[in-house]
Structure 1
Amino acid sequence: MNSKLMSRNRRALVLTVLFLSLTMMVSACSPLAVLAQPTVSVGEVSVNPNNNKSIERALDQLAKRYEKAPVPVRKDYDTNTILWDTPGKTLDREQTRKRIVNAKPGSKVEPVLITVPAAVQARHLASDIPAGYRNIGEFSTTLPTEKGYLANIKLASDLLNDSVVMPGETLSFNKVTGFPTADRGYQPGPGISGGQVVQMYGGGICQVSTTLFNAVTTAGLEVVERHPHSLPVSYVPIGKDAMVYIEEGKDFIFKNNRRTPVIVKSQLADGVVKVTLYGK
């Protein structure tokens, strides 16, 4: 074989190898090659069950789409009604991963979701002592006999009862009671204003805020705002009262500085108004 023929054969071999390499590169990057990858549908998310990164991305997308936080039971103070709790959902990543890996290519599986109950549920408020909770603070003050005063205490106590304060949240007594007007059911009663005892709508609700204040301090919760009366009151020693006057922006506010929820129970019985705080 002469040198010219050997050279042509060598060039032909090189061109053949280059052609085959380019063909493999193009086919690997083509849409057909991508479509050829095995896929599994999880909800509305497609995932390659043989690729860990693809699975992790799919799990993250599923968590964003399906997970939701539970909503604890709470109170509508305007209507004095309980708003029921709503359970949440969380993605069971391990079980969902197993479904993906074990699924046949082209098939569809459902994500595994776990129901997460609310930290405080309506059932916890159904009794005087919430199930699973313990008394962490309690205080009582003696009730008056004046009808308007007593009626205002009863209304404020009913509104306060079954309040739920989540960790890190605050409770405003003025938000609980609202403006003390006749439309809201309040009556004229004796109250302290400008260093004098005068008749005012809502007179007497300060006894409930005071009772709450002392229960809060007994429980070791954080007092955010508190104001003393301009005159001594009969139901607690000096320095133990908590005056509220919404028209002047005077409020009693406390913060739940615990890691678990606090449930407030308030009731009138046996000649006293009693506020009890329950926690875990």
Structure 2
Amino acid sequence: MAPRILGTDADDPHGDVEGGQLPQDRQWPESDAERTDVFPPARGELLDSSGPQFDAGATQHMPAVGQRFDAGATQQFDAAATQRFAPQRPDADAPTEQVEGVVPVPAPRAEDDDPGAARRRSLRKAAIIGGAALGVLVVVYGADLLISSGDVPRGVTVAGVDVGGMSRSDAEAELRQKLEPRLTQPVKYQAGDVAESFNPAEAGLKLDWPTTLDNAGDQPLNPFTRLASFFTTREVGVATHAEPQKLAGAMEDVRQAVDRDPMEGTIRFEEGQPIPVDPKQGQKLDVDGAMQAILTQWAGEQAVQLPVAVTPVRSTPEAVRAALEQFAKPAVSGLVLVRGEGKDAVLQPPQIGAALTFEVDEAGQLKPKIDNAKIVEAAGPQLASTEKEGKDAQIVFEGGRPTVQPSEDGKKINWDPSLAPLPEVLLRTENREVKALYENKPAKVTTEDANKYGVKEVIGEFTTKGFASDSGVNIRVVAQKVNGAFVKPGETFSLNGFTGPRTKAQGYVEAGVISDGAPGREVGGGISQFATTLYNAYYFAGMKDAGHKEHSYYISRYPVAREATVFQNHAGASVIDLKFTNDSDTGVAIQTIWSPSSITVKLWGTKRYNVESVTGERHNFTEPQEKAGPTENCQPSNGAQGFTASDTRILRDLSGREVRREPRNVRYNPQPKITCP
């Protein structure tokens, strides 16, 4: 049987093929000649040359392109014959062989070429892969969970020590090995700009190992958390056992080291050389926050960062450097002269530097300030001979009567205006000098004032006798000090204030005193006799009592309920004082007359009153108690009764009219009976 040729007549595209007409495209909607044209001729390779031979007859039933489909012909297709060719991938680079006389046949459209089918295949493939991956993950997750059950979670670190994935016992052993050496070392901390350390043992700090591992938690069940633990770490703070009192003490030490007030920048001087001091912001430790940080981080390798509250400053290091160059250095670059009348004072750079300070203004700039008092301290003694001290008019006693010693005006340097140009002078390199400006200093009490005070007659006086020689020394010293004292109208005279400390440096000696009812000795003993004499003098002068205190025990040489004592401690501070106020319109001068056996005090002024003293009867007696004396220098005594008494001062004007009465009740304690061992 002759082979059929697949193709068309070259001269007539619609010619007879086996006597049949080619249908038009519209008659065969399924036909797509344009699409089949893009398919290259199929190439094949025989799988087995010894296999069945190609059956040409089977292919004769395949219709040519455009030929009517013959179902019957396809039934004669020998499928077995087509299996002799192995499927081949088209080789785009290989030349296409055209079999002579054979027209290329388009490949039939397979189901796989449908886009929907391709998507379904992709989805099925993805589902298979995803399911497989999920299965693998489930298996891995289960294995990881099983293997890690009961261990410290993966990725956990404690004070920088990696214990993740370990068993609790191994983790505790690892922590003890790595951390215990640190527990005896000083704990470093950083608080603001303060870097210090403290002893953990002194702070009462100890590690609680089980609780620390409890804080790490259990193995997480969340698979994503477990997966993340392969790539991340989680720091767990140490659990600390602390002794509260020790920790509080350590925190107080830390607070004292950290806390400070803000310090503005300044410039200080050392031996005349300026040294810049940069500003420091203030800081205050957050004690609660710092304690928490120490409890959780003290065992770590890094310094514990402690929280502080910061107070800013206005100045800057740049402002300090500007003041240094623009003022401080020029100011101490040379000497400064203070020109006085007939004499000059020299200010050396160290003296200038000692008087210079700097203040920070609102803009943060350093402004120089000169302490004039320190300049005067340096220059004043050099110019003292150019000044003259003034003298107030004084009441002095000559021939037993008061006279006025004339006043003298003084001449002093007025330092504030004299030093006003100094800031500008300090910036100079030449002509560094200022001029001392003098002014007259009138006396506070002029001769005319003293004559107007009316000091012309004795207005009150009193004398006491009978004192030991050592007490007499002290009475003489204080009498010389008080003699000539002048009390202006309205002023108050204080005996302790006028004499100042009464110590050996002022010429006082040890003398007898009564202490707790027993005889003793103190420097300045016997002064109370002078106080009693002065009290009675101003009592009879009609002066206003401004405060006094009687002795605790009655002393027979003094008037009952009309006497006084004074006392200073060993440092010279006043404890019991004697004071009176001049409530008259004229001045009062005090005159003292001392002899080895007596002391007299007179008050001079203008007489206002005639004064009478009325002493009441003693009553309310109490018996002395026996008291053991000291083991050394004991002086026995029989003691004396205690009692109550009164005194009334009656003041009458010069016409004899009673002005007022001033009663006073006094209670004297019984003087104990001293027995010696």
AA matched with 1:133: K
Partner of 1:133: 456
TM superposition shift of 1:239: 1.1
Per the alignment, do residues 177 and 193 of structure 1 end up closer, same or farther by CA in structure 2, a change over 3 Å counting? farther
Contact 2:564 2:578 in 1 (8 A): yes
1:98-113 correspondence runs (5 A): none
Give the match's secondary structure for 2:449.
Answer: coil
TM superposition shift of 1:142: 0.5
TM superposition shift of 1:119: 2.7
**1:261 equivalent among 582, 587, 601:** 587
AA matched with 2:509: Q
**1:237 equivalent among 550, 559, 562:** 559
Give the match's secondary structure for 1:227.
Answer: coil
Contact 1:192 1:230 in 2 (8 A): no
TM superposition shift of 1:160: 1.2
Q: Tell me, yes or no, if structure 1 residue 271 matches structure 2 residue 601.
A: no
Q: Tell me, yes or no, if structure 1 residue 148 matches structure 2 residue 470.
A: yes
AA matched with 2:580: F
How many residues get paired? 169
Cα deviation code 1:205-251 (max 9, x no counterpart):
11111100001010100010100111112321221111100226210
Uncovered stretches (5+) of structure 2, i.e. residues with no partner: 1-390, 397-404, 410-445, 607-677
Partner of 1:58: none
Superposition RMSD in Å: 3.0
TM superposition shift of 1:198: 1.3
TM superposition shift of 1:151: 0.2
Q: Tell me, yes or no, if structure 1 residue 227 matches structure 2 residue 549.
A: yes
Partner of 1:64: none
Partner of 2:627: none
Overall identity of the aligned pairs, in % = 29
Uncovered stretches (5+) of structure 1, i.e. residues with no partner: 1-69, 76-82, 88-115, 125-129
Give the match's secondary structure for 2:489.
Answer: coil
Higher Rg of the two aligned structures: 2
| Cα distance in structure 1, aligned partners of 2:604 and 2:395 | 15
Partner of 1:120: 450
AA matched with 1:117: T
| Cα distance in structure 1, aligned partners of 2:527 and 2:406 | 27
Partner of 2:394: 73
AA matched with 1:265: Q
Higher RCO, 1 vs 2 (CA within 8 Å, ≥6 residues apart): 1
AA matched with 2:496: N
TM superposition shift of 1:132: 5.6
Cα deviation code 1:99-138 (max 9, x no counterpart):
xxxxxxxxxxxxxxxxx634327xx9xxxxx996101001
1:180-199 correspondence runs (5 A): 180-199=502-521
AA matched with 2:536: N
Cα deviation code 1:8-63 (max 9, x no counterpart):
xxxxxxxxxxxxxxxxxxxxxxxxxxxxxxxxxxxxxxxxxxxxxxxxxxxxxxxx
Give the match's secondary structure for 2:501.
Answer: coil
Contact 2:568 2:575 in 1 (8 A): yes
AA matched with 2:593: Q
Partner of 1:12: none
| Cα distance in structure 2, aligned partners of 1:131 and 1:167 | 11
Contact 1:263 1:278 in 2 (8 A): yes
Per the alignment, do residues 187 and 263 of structure 1 end up closer, same or farther by CA in structure 2, a change over 3 Å counting? same
| Cα distance in structure 2, aligned partners of 1:230 and 1:208 | 17
Relative to the length of structure 1, the TM-score reads 0.54
Partner of 1:212: 534
TM superposition shift of 1:177: 2.5
| Cα distance in structure 2, aligned partners of 1:159 and 1:71 | 17
Contact 1:182 1:201 in 2 (8 A): yes
Give the match's secondary structure for 1:258.
Answer: coil
Give the match's secondary structure for 1:120.
Answer: helix
Per the alignment, do residues 264 and 132 of structure 1 end up closer, same or farther by CA in structure 2, a change over 3 Å counting? closer
| Cα distance in structure 2, aligned partners of 1:84 and 1:208 | 30
Per the alignment, do residues 133 and 257 of structure 1 end up closer, same or farther by CA in structure 2, a change over 3 Å counting? same
Partner of 1:200: 522
| Cα distance in structure 2, aligned partners of 1:178 and 1:242 | 18
AA matched with 2:559: P
Contact 1:226 1:243 in 2 (8 A): yes
